[in-house]
């Protein structure tokens, strides 16, 4: 019994790529650090727990819905035909229950944080659902995904401060540009399939070379926004050193991917972007800790 529950839980977590939570999570914690410094006090353990649970709930619900909504498309795509729903390793009912549980967790966590979080939680759920349908009618779906992940640092800030302010909005815009850029990279491998199925993506619309150029522009904007955050937060030289390191990581990421060679795409997408988010959080945390000491 215990073994079967463990295996099913593991399968469900694999379906929603739970390990990819590392992309948005550090930026949300980065917002927590900045909001705490502005407030002049550390968040309570309860606040940290509920923020983390809200993030886990939002991503779990969003990914489970995305897998459900895209099940037929995934089944038709040779690259994704072996995913859990098309392959029958997870049933539609199980995926639906997981989505409901994830969104319920988000709503409960938002309720425990503050009234503004609870008010905005349904908006976040609507945005996550909208993303799952967006590639059916717009090539800007990459930006919609970026907006979904940008909500993580903005939401974490609101959880502690209870209001919208410039630092989380600038950080959110940086996350939006970053996510949209690497999602364009990821979509390169489905360029021909998307065209054949009438699906919309930047690579399908512009072709691989121009799509990569746009990803470079978006990542350049990300670096500019992160640098500007140092002025509005404010942050010091150590943080700016982290921004330079991230810029170098993104340059290396772009060297890994060419229009005629996607063999290193997984390294560029998974490994390098994990380093980007962890580096920004780490350098921000140390910079703020030193300024507080």
- Tell me the mean pLDDT per 10 residues along the chain, length 293: 72 76 87 94 95 95 95 94 92 94 98 97 97 96 96 96 95 97 94 95 96 96 98 95 96 88 77 90 96 76
1 falls within a domain:
no
Is 73 domain-assigned? yes
Instruction: Check residue 15 and give its pLDDT.
Output: 85
Is 2 domain-assigned? no
Q: Do the beta carbons of residue 176 and residue 168 sit within 8 Å?
A: no
Number of domains in the chain: 1
CA 39, CA 279: separation in Å to the nearest integer?
Answer: 24
pLDDT of residue 21: 72
pTM here is 0.95
Q: Flag whether 181 is in a domain.
A: yes
Q: What is the structure's pLDDT at 218?
A: 98
pLDDT of residue 262: 82
Rounded CA separation 246/183 (Å): 17
Per-residue pLDDT, 65: 95
CA distance to 110, 126, 145, per residue, from 132 (Å): 23, 10, 9
Establish if 263 belongs to a structural domain.
Answer: yes
* CATH code (residue 146): 1.10.357.140
262 within a domain of the structure (yes/no) = yes
Identify the pLDDT of residue 93.
Answer: 95
pLDDT of the residue at 260:
83
Domain hosting residue 83, numbered range: 22-292
| pLDDT at residue 293, rounded to an integer | 61
Residue 188 included in any domain: yes
| Helix ranges, the chain (H) | 2-15, 25-39, 45-69, 71-76, 84-87, 92-113, 115-134, 141-161, 166-187, 191-197, 202-206, 208-232, 237-256, 265-266, 273-292
Sequence-distant (≥ 6) Cβ neighbours of residue 19 within 8 angstroms: none
Task: Classify residue 6: in a domain, yes or no.
Answer: no
Pairs from 11-15 (Cβ < 8 Å, separation ≥ 24): 11/84, 11/89, 11/90, 12/90, 12/94, 12/95, 12/98, 14/84, 15/63, 15/64, 15/67, 15/83, 15/84, 15/85, 15/89, 15/90, 15/95, 15/98
Instruction: Tell the residue number behind the tokens 């690497």, with chain if given.
Output: 182
- Residue keyed to tokens 């295996």: 7
pLDDT of 42 reads: 92
């Amino acid at each position: 019994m215990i073994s079967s529950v463990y295996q099913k839980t593991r399968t469900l977590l694999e379906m929603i790529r739970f390990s990819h939570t590392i992309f948005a999570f550090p930026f949300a914690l980065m917002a927590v650090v900045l909001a705490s410094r502005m407030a002049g006090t550390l968040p309570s353990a309860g606040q940290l727990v509920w923020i983390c649970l809200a993030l886990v709930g939002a991503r779990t619900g969003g990914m489970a819905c995305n897998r459900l909504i895209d099940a037929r498309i995934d089944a038709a795509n040779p690259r994704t035909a072996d995913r859990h729903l098309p392959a029958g390793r997870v049933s539609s009912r199980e995926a639906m229950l997981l989505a409901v549980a994830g969104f319920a967790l988000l709503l409960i966590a938002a309720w425990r944080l503050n009234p503004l979080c609870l008010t905005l939680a349904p908006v976040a759920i609507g945005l996550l659902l909208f993303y799952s349908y967006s590639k059916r009618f717009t090539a800007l779906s990459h930006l919609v995904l970026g907006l979904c992940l940008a909500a993580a640092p903005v939401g974490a800030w609101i959880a502690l401060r209870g209001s919208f302010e410039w630092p989380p909005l600038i950080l959110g815009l940086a996350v939006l540009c970053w996510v949209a850029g690497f999602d364009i990279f990821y979509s390169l491998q489905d360029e021909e399939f998307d065209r054949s199925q009438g699906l919309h993506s930047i690579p399908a619309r512009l072709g691989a070379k121009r799509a990569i150029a746009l990803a470079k522009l978006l990542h350049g904007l990300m670096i500019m926004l992160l640098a500007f955050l140092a002025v509005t937060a404010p942050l010091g030289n150590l943080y700016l050193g982290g921004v330079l390191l991230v810029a170098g990581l993104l340059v290396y990421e772009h060297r890994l991917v060419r229009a005629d060679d996607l063999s290193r795409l997984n390294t560029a997408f998974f490994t390098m972007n994990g380093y980007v988010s962890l580096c920004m959080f780490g350098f921000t945390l140390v910079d703020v800790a030193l300024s507080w000491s």
